[in-house]
Amino acid sequence: MNRFFLGLSRLLAILGGIVLAVLIVIVVVSIVGRETGLGAITGDYELVEAGMAFCIFAFLPYAHMTGAHATVDIFTNALGERAHRWLLAVIDTVFAVVLIIIAVQLYGGLVSKMNSGQTTLLLQFPVWWGYLASFCAAVIGGVVGVWHALVRITEAVTGNSIAVEGGET
């Protein structure tokens, strides 16, 4: 089961990577257009902004599942194995709650941007498109967060190691 969520978040991260690559190409094409006089891509700036929000939301679940977040563990290393597992269980439960709150509130933002009809300044595409893409990734983030918290709690109760630390290289 952990492999399923790991695979899911990895897939999402790769999708984010593909979007990142597309944005890079857009920016470069725009520079070339501008410098050769063929004309830059209008609103490349806005495309990068909307796309980047999706990328980050898409990257978060995989980073979460593989323990990429920066921590200071020098003081907690002194804790016993058991206490340490319980500490992680508590932290990742709180983290899951935060990820859910983020997704739920982002939904609120999405609905309000949808109803308001707000667009970007230059391309004038609806702002909610970007919100919708980000929201989909944020939902997976919330689900992955809950799963990871369950894993941590199971680890604390049983003493077994389940979670995967560190990503592939």
Partner 1 sequence: MTNIEIGLWSFPALLLLIFLRVPIGLAMFLAGFLGLGIINDGFHIALARLKTETFTTFSSYSLSIVPMFLLMGHFATLGGMSQSLFKAAESWLGHRRGGVAMAAIGACAGFGAICGSSLATAATMGRVALPELKRYGYSGGFSTATLAAGGTLGILIPPSVVLVIYAILAEQNIAKLFAAAIIPGILAAIGYIIMISIYVRLNPKSAGVRPPVPMAQRFRAMFDVWPVLLVFGLVVGGIYGGLFTPTEGAAVGALGTGIIALFNGGLTWKTLMGSFTATARSTAMIFFIVLGAAFYNGFLAVSQVPQTAADWVSAQGYSPYMVLLIILVFYLLLGCFMDSLSMILLTIPIFFPIISVLDFGFVDFVTMQHDMIREAIANGAAQGVAQDVMDQINALMAAGEEVPRKLSAEVGVRLTELRANAIGLEYTAIWFGILVLIVVETGLITPPVGMILFIINAMDRQTPIVETYKAVLFFITSDLIRVALLVAFPMITLFLIT
Partner 2 sequence: QEVTLKLHQFLPAQANVPKLVLDVWADNVEEDSEGRIKVDRYASMALGGTPPELMDQAIDGIADVVWTVVGYTPGRFPTTEVFELPFMVEDAREASCAYWQMFEEHMKDGEFSDVKIVGTWVHGPGMFHTNEPVRVPSDLEGMKIRGGSRLVNNLLTRVGAEPVGMPVPAVSEALSKGVIDGTTIPWEVTYALKVPELVTNHTEFEGAALYNLTFVLAMNKDVYEGLSDENKAVIDANSGLEFSVFAGGTQADADGPARQVAVDLGNNIITVSEEEAKEWDAIVNPIYEEWASGMENGDALIEEAKTRMEQCGENMADIDTYGDS
Q: Is 77 left (phi over 0), alpha (psi -120 to 50) or beta?
A: alpha
Interaction with partner 1 in 61-90: which residues (CB under 8 A)? 62-64, 66, 68-76, 87-88
Residue whose CB is less far from partner 1, 77 or 160: 77
In the list 2, 8, 10, 163, the residue contacting partner 1 (rule: CB under 8 A) is 10
Partner whose footprint covers residue 43, from partner 1, partner 2, none (CB < 5 to 8 Å by kind):
none
Do residues 110 and 127 touch, judged by C-beta distance below 8 A? no
Q: DSSP code of 73?
A: -
In the list 39, 80, 117, 166, the residue contacting partner 2 (rule: CB under 8 A) is 117
Q: In terms of residues, how long is the chain?
A: 169
Exposed / middle / buried, residue 43 (Cβ in 10 Å: 0-12, 13-18, 19+):
middle
In the list 55, 89, 143, 151, the residue contacting partner 1 (rule: CB under 8 A) is 55
Interaction with partner 2 in 52-111: which residues (CB under 8 A)? none
Do residues 110 and 131 touch, judged by C-beta distance below 8 A? yes
Phi, psi of 44 (to 5 degrees): -55, -35
Q: Rule CB under 8 A: is residue 139 a binding residue for partner 1?
A: no
Interaction with partner 1 in 13-42: which residues (CB under 8 A)? 13-14, 16-18, 20-21, 23-25, 27-28, 30-31, 35
Distance from C-alpha of 111 to C-alpha of 107, rounded to nearest angstrom:
6
Residue whose CB is less far from partner 1, 5 or 62: 62
Contact residues toward partner 2 (CB under 8 A) are 112, 115-122, 124, 126-127
